[in-house]
Amino acid sequence: SEVKKIAVIAGDGIGPEVVAEAEKVLKVIESVFGYAFETEHALFGGIAIDERGTPLPEDTLSICKAADAVLLGAVGGPKWDNNPKELRPETGLLGIRKALGLFSNLRPAVVFDCLKDASTLKPEVLEGTDLMVVRELTGGIYFGEKLRRQGEFGEEAVDTCVYNVVEIERIVRQAFEIAGKRRKKLASVDKANVLETSRLWREVVNKLAPEYPDIELEHVLVDNCAMQLLRRPSSFDVIVTENMFGDILSDEAAMLTGSIGMLASASMGEGSYGLYEPVHGSAPDIAGQGLANPIATILSLALMFRLTFGYEDAAAAIEAAVAEVLDAGHRTSDIAVNKSTAISTTEMGDLIAAAI
Amino acid sequence: SEVKKIAVIAGDGIGPEVVAEAEKVLKVIESVFGYAFETEHALFGGIAIDERGTPLPEDTLSICKAADAVLLGAVGGPKWDNNPKELRPETGLLGIRKALGLFSNLRPAVVFDCLKDASTLKPEVLEGTDLMVVRELTGGIYFGEKLRRQGEFGEEAVDTCVYNVVEIERIVRQAFEIAGKRRKKLASVDKANVLETSRLWREVVNKLAPEYPDIELEHVLVDNCAMQLLRRPSSFDVIVTENMFGDILSDEAAMLTGSIGMLASASMGEGSYGLYEPVHGSAPDIAGQGLANPIATILSLALMFRLTFGYEDAAAAIEAAVAEVLDAGHRTSDIAVNKSTAISTTEMGDLIAAAI
Ligand SMILES: CC(C)[C@H](C(=O)O)[C@@H](O)C(=O)O
Ligand SMILES: CC(C)[C@H](C(=O)O)[C@@H](O)C(=O)O
């Protein structure tokens, strides 16, 4: 089959370590399934600031654009936290989303059996929780006009939240379609009792709903959703919402599963183009020590195979291998009950690669 | 002592029932402590829409302005949910906040012993949780310019989030001061890595911090806060944040205590003026059946005595009476383990009144 191009961004902190293990898995998939991949590494985030004076160098963008998908480790760290805006890793993150047109962020929140007890929620409440937050990623208050000015009461700051029907339609359609492949329930989250953008959002959702008669739709206000995620997490299937609400709710949802260190995410553009990354951050405190858990990054690769390449066999093989290694009791220190028996980042990568 | 004026807004759903019990308690406080109150009832919310064609009639506003404090039951219900904006209870709520200058919403989230098991969080995680969300209430995206327009890609909607230094300073100062009377920890929540209003917010917080050297300050990003509330709720003391983030986080915080039906809240203006209301909603499904729990409203009255009138003795007496009645095993049906032994709204009010 055709050679697929993957741009690989290791990034900062534990990024390089976890990405290395995912690349190990990629090699195994090539030889076992006969798929062919070409990877190209690119600088991004803090390391790009250090080496190139910008978090998102032009050639990184070209490499990503030339690829079919991007695998990203993690970016950021305290080192760059006090930099001016143009020299911060987040600015690169927002820039790459916009430049690659990644308008949809898919954040599955599932409970891993071996991590059930890691959640702060009661097991009986968590039981059966398996939801997906579909977050709009290139609009809203993140990208609207921002400014400082002198007002009547001294200095003031302004952020603008803008959504148009096209932006709302494409993300909502995608959410309806994802729900159709899952448990057929969609919760659209907004603040329609206060925000004009939310009222437009709700109108668009209601306009599209008749095209998806088999999907059970509910509108949930964002404050209520923050509560219901705690009260009845297992009753949610797909949640679709705008950028800022999605930022907050997807993190809340991930955390309540107790499995946040193991979760993968996808940011999708037009067609099947996507950027895949673990939900966890760059964990600078443990970087370079072989302590990081590469599973979320390896599962991000599986998601890439499924969503961008349609290689369901490879995706399923990776997921099965991860399950097998966990079932056999292997743990990196973040998920080990007994830390003294914990294995290293590379050992975990080796075991998963071997299990495929 | 001087006669204090209280505007009483019963509102919709269970509002009238729970407010009636708080007024019972008010009478007892008058006779036991010798304080004098004058109450005046006012129409507001759904009932005002029905009877007067507007959620916030002019005379309601006059009554509130002439009073020293406002006691509010609850407003809203499905009956008005599809009304045009000017005829919705929420519009009244936003209007009264602005008109009365209620810039600060205090939302304590505590765990009631008798409700420990009602939380979906594990008891050991919840242990010691006692936090207060201080939410800015008259600024931000709630009150900025809103509009619809035709853009390049069809119809679009705009919301504007604006904050000036004066608005930020007054709420942040209040939060520092509240923290000083509690465990001396303040978490300021923003999204400074994305929003200009958040960057201004953080600057103001950092500018004021040296004036409060005994307060331990941390800046927390809103997405991270949504996670940390789940992971380590007991480590928070006071959380201060802008209007929209506060809406989401205060509901999340209240829900995780498991005690949401028992929580009181205060919305404060300049000086000691305040509007007090239970955190729970108008629960139209159980309205008029004597099933509502009046405790949150009664505790809102206690908060009024403490914060507006400085009647600490009366506030403490009410809180002690509530604790005594609960300790004796009395429960309304919402908090009863055995529903068949549940008492009614008025019985609960009577017991608390008698215990003072
Ligand atoms: C780093 C930050 C700009 C980013 C966001 O808010 O989108 C992050 O929180 C995320 O969710 O990917
Ligand atoms: C009803 C709504 C406008 C209101 C708000 O968002 O402020 C409510 O959620 C609240 O928190 O008091």
What pLDDT is stored for residue B182 in this prediction? 97
Q: How far apart are the first and last CA of chain B?
A: 20
Question: Taking 80 as the threshold, does the pLDDT of residue A173 lie above it?
Answer: yes
Ligand 1 pocket test, pick from A90, A250, A252 with the greatest ligand atom count within 8 Å of Cβ, gives A90
Q: Which ligand is nearest to the CA of A135?
A: 1
Question: Can you say whether residue B228 is alpha, beta or left, with left for phi > 0 and alpha for psi between -120 and 50 degrees?
Answer: alpha
Q: Which ligand is nearest to the CA of A142?
A: 1
Task: Say if A152 falls within a structural domain.
Answer: no
- Clarify whether residues B114 and B214 are in a common domain: yes
- Clarify whether residues B110 and B241 are in a common domain: yes
- Clarify whether residues A118 and A83 are in a common domain: no
Rounded to whole angstroms, how far apart are CA atoms B110 and B126?
A: 10
Residues of B in contact with A127 (CB under 8 A): none
- Closest approach of A226 to chain B, Cα-based (Å): 5
Domain boundaries, position B44: 1-102+269-356
| Nearest Cα residue to atom 11 of ligand 2 | B247
What token pair was written down for A240?
């679709």
Rounded to whole angstroms, how far apart are CA atoms B303 and A2?
A: 69
Strand, coil or helix: what is A101? coil
Q: How far is CA B162 from the centre of its chain?
A: 23
Task: Say if A253 falls within a structural domain.
Answer: yes
Q: How far is CA B222 from the centre of its chain?
A: 20
- Clarify whether residues B84 and B21 are in a common domain: yes
Domain end, chosen from A229, A262, A295, is at A262
Best probe of the B interface among A230, A235, A242, by most B CBs < 10 A, is A230
Question: The tokens 């509002």 sit on which residue?
Answer: B15
Q: What's the Cα-to-Cα distance from B107 to each of B102, B116, B239, B260, rounded to whole Å? A: 14, 19, 10, 11
Q: At a CB cut-off of 8 Å and minimum separation 6, what does A340 contact? A: none
Q: Which ligand is nearest to the CA of B45?
A: 2
- In chain B, the number of structural domains is 2
**Catalytic residue set of A:** 142, 191, 223, 247, 251
- A239 and A219 Cβ atoms separated by less than 8 Å: no
Position A42 confidence tier, pLDDT thresholds 50, 70, 90: very high
Rounded to whole angstroms, how far apart are CA atoms A203 and B260?
A: 31
| pLDDT single digits (tens) B227-262 | 999 999 999 999 999 999 999 999 999 999 999 999
Q: At a CB cut-off of 8 Å and minimum separation 6, what does A23 contact? A: A8, A39
- Clarify whether residues A93 and A5 are in a common domain: yes
Task: Say if A247 falls within a structural domain.
Answer: yes
Q: Which of B157, B196, B249 sits opposite A146 (nearest CB)?
A: B196
* Best CA proximity match to B320, nearest among B287, B354, B277, B343: B354
Cα dihedral B252, B253, B259, B264 sign: negative
CB contact under 8 A, A164 and B148: no
CB contact under 8 A, B166 and A154: yes
Measured CA angle at A252 (ends A249, A256), to 5 deg: 140
Rounded to whole angstroms, how far apart are CA atoms A248 and A168?
A: 19
Task: Say if A140 falls within a structural domain.
Answer: no
Q: What's the Cα-to-Cα distance from A311 to each of A97, A275, A294, B80, rounded to whole Å? A: 24, 16, 21, 50
Rounded to whole angstroms, how far apart are CA atoms B153 and B15?
A: 45
**Which residues in chain B land under pLDDT 50?**
none
Question: Can you say whether residue A222 is alpha, beta or left, with left for phi > 0 and alpha for psi between -120 and 50 degrees?
Answer: alpha
Question: The tokens 């309205």 sit on which residue?
Answer: B287
What pLDDT is stored for residue A1 in this prediction? 65
What token pair was written down for A170?
């494409």
Atom of ligand 1 nearest to the CA of A137: 7
- A29 and A305 Cβ atoms separated by less than 8 Å: yes
- Clarify whether residues B312 and B241 are in a common domain: no
Number of helices (H), then strands (E), belonging to chain A: the values are 12, 12
Ligand 2 pocket test, pick from A191, A194, A220 with the greatest ligand atom count within 8 Å of Cβ, gives A194
What token pair was written down for B130?
């006692």
- Clarify whether residues A116 and A238 are in a common domain: yes
Domain end, chosen from B240, B261, B282, is at B261
Rounded to whole angstroms, how far apart are CA atoms A127 and B65?
A: 50
Q: At a CB cut-off of 8 Å and minimum separation 6, what does A162 contact? A: A139, A140, A143, A144, A197, B156, B157, B158
What pLDDT is stored for residue B137 in this prediction? 98
Residues of A in contact with B165 (CB under 8 A): 153-156
What pLDDT is stored for residue B1 in this prediction? 65
CB contact under 8 A, A157 and B254: no
Question: The tokens 């080990």 sit on which residue?
Answer: A336
Rounded to whole angstroms, how far apart are CA atoms A256 and A249?
A: 11
- Clarify whether residues B245 and B283 are in a common domain: no
- Clarify whether residues A178 and A245 are in a common domain: yes
Q: Per the annotation, does A284 bind a ligand?
A: yes
Question: The tokens 């929780």 sit on which residue?
Answer: A129
Q: Per the annotation, does A282 bind a ligand?
A: yes
Please, where are the H alpha helices in chain A? 15-33, 46-52, 58-66, 89-99, 123-126, 165-180, 196-208, 222-231, 243-257, 295-304, 312-327, 345-355
Q: Could you tell me the strand order of the sheet in which A238-241 lies?
A: A36-41, A3-11, A69-74, A274-278, A264-268, A104-110, A130-136, A238-241, A185-190, A216-221
Biggest alpha carbon distance in chain B? 68
Phi/psi for B243 (5° steps) reads -55, -55
Rounded to whole angstroms, how far apart are CA atoms A245 and A194?
A: 14
What pLDDT is stored for residue A343 in this prediction? 97
Rounded to whole angstroms, how far apart are CA atoms B303 and B287?
A: 25
Question: The tokens 């039981």 sit on which residue?
Answer: A127
Say how many Å lie between the CA of residue B253 and the centre of ligand 1.
Answer: 22
- The DSSP result for A277-306, as a single string, is EESS---GGGTTTT----HHHHHHHHHHII
Helix, strand, coil % (nearest 5) of chain A?
50, 25, 30
* Best CA proximity match to B276, nearest among B244, B260, B246, B299: B299
Residues of B in contact with A250 (CB under 8 A): 223
| Nearest Cα residue to atom 12 of ligand 2 | B247
- A130 and A110 Cβ atoms separated by less than 8 Å: yes
Cα dihedral B205, B207, B208, B210 sign: positive
Residues of A in contact with B141 (CB under 8 A): 141, 159, 161, 194-195
Which pTM does this prediction carry? 0.97
- A202 and B224 Cβ atoms separated by less than 8 Å: no
- Clarify whether residues A67 and A108 are in a common domain: no
Best probe of the A interface among B206, B228, B230, by most A CBs < 10 A, is B230
Q: Are strands B185-190 and B238-241 parallel, antiparallel or unpaired?
A: parallel
| pLDDT single digits (tens) A45-75 | 999 999 999 999 999 999 999 999 999 999 9
- Clarify whether residues B328 and B231 are in a common domain: no
CATH of the domain at B237: 3.40.718.10
Rounded to whole angstroms, how far apart are CA atoms A309 and A69?
A: 9
Q: Could you tell me the strand order of the sheet in which B146-151 lies?
A: A146-151, A154-164, B154-164, B146-151
What pLDDT is stored for residue A116 in this prediction? 86
Please, where are the H alpha helices in A100-132? 123-126
Say how many Å lie between the CA of residue B77 and the centre of ligand 1.
Answer: 35
Rounded to whole angstroms, how far apart are CA atoms A48 and A62?
A: 15
- A304 and A266 Cβ atoms separated by less than 8 Å: yes
CB contact under 8 A, A196 and B157: yes
Residues of A in contact with B163 (CB under 8 A): 156-157
- Clarify whether residues A109 and A253 are in a common domain: yes
What token pair was written down for B321?
């009476």
- A197 and A161 Cβ atoms separated by less than 8 Å: yes
Position A114 confidence tier, pLDDT thresholds 50, 70, 90: confident
| pLDDT single digits (tens) A271-290 | 999 999 999 999 999 999 99
Rounded to whole angstroms, how far apart are CA atoms B216 and B179?
A: 9
Report how many Cβ contacts below 8 Å link chain A to chain B: 174
Rounded to whole angstroms, how far apart are CA atoms B97 and B91?
A: 10
CB contact under 8 A, A194 and B151: no
Q: Which of B94, B167, B255 sits opposite A227 (nearest CB)?
A: B255
What pLDDT is stored for residue B116 in this prediction? 86
Phi/psi for A257 (5° steps) reads -75, -20
| CB atoms inside a 10 Å sphere around CB B216 | 13
Domain end, chosen from B261, B277, B293, is at B261
Q: What is the mean pLDDT of residues A33-45?
A: 97
Annotated binding-site positions of B: 77-90, 97, 107, 135, 223, 247, 251, 281-293
Ligand 1 pocket test, pick from A247, A252, A276 with the greatest ligand atom count within 8 Å of Cβ, gives A247
